[in-house]
Structure 1
Amino acid sequence: MLIIENESHTPLHVSLLETIVNEHTQKEVELVFINSADMHALNLEHRGVDKTTDVLSFPIDDFPHAPLGSIVINYEYAKEKALALGHSHEDEITLLFIHGMLHLLGYDHEVDQGEMREKEKALIEQYALPKSLIVRTEEA
């Protein structure tokens, strides 16, 4: 189940996001949208990184009936990135959601041997989306 907090009225592929959740977990996933300034504060507080970012994931310790966790997306950053890369805002949000979802599922591209990158690429191909966050980062 997907719970969405979208006070920013960010355009979404809601049915696709729900499909992604339902294909990977029976647990609830929360999706929250915040602006760049709030994301900067969250990134500093939780990761010690003094800048904004595009997506953060907050897994919840596993216990019966617990949600999987929360995915927080910087809607301003996503809109800018979509414009710069020439694809839709909805596609950019979906890419960021997939990235965040994989983190909730336990993948970590910062320490793994490419497993998250491969899983992300497979999902992006499955859903016919533009290049992934990891692939873009590796190319930069």
Structure 2
Amino acid sequence: MLRNKKILITYQGFTLAECLISLVVLMGLLLFLKPFLSMITQVDNHITKDNYLELLIGKIQIESEIKEMTFQKIDNNKLYYLSEDDEKIVFEQYKNMIRKTNDSKGHQPIVMGVDIVVFSEEKGLVKMEVTTLEGETYSYFLFN
């Protein structure tokens, strides 16, 4: 004998309130994520600019060269070093570049596209502040 059974079917799902709360949380996360992503994009664009990379490579080149030299002085915005064979080496701005000169052999360009370079000494370190032709300013410390 078959009886008439009522089958109650229930659906598992989300209520309207749960959906609205999850949407509010998601929108809040997206609001905070957008400025963060734009900041990361700006930093990436800044770091990959040619000026920044060239200045960084120039700084590394200067530091590798002065490792084996003796710091003498900063005079008239020029860095004076003495090489191991007692040759006077000068790092200075010349036109739109930072160049390295020595007593008798001309000059070697280190960084191009430079508007202003200021060398100063701070607490035993040499500070090199460079302004590019595009108006961006970078500060580096060179270890003596």
What range describes the TM-score normalised by the shorter chain of this pair?
under 0.3
Richer in strand (by share) = 2
State which structure, 1 or 2, has the greater radius of gyration over its C-alpha atoms.
Answer: 2
**Larger relative contact order (C-alpha < 8 A, sep ≥ 6)?**
1
Richer in helix (by share) = 1
Q: TM-score by structure 1 length?
A: 0.25
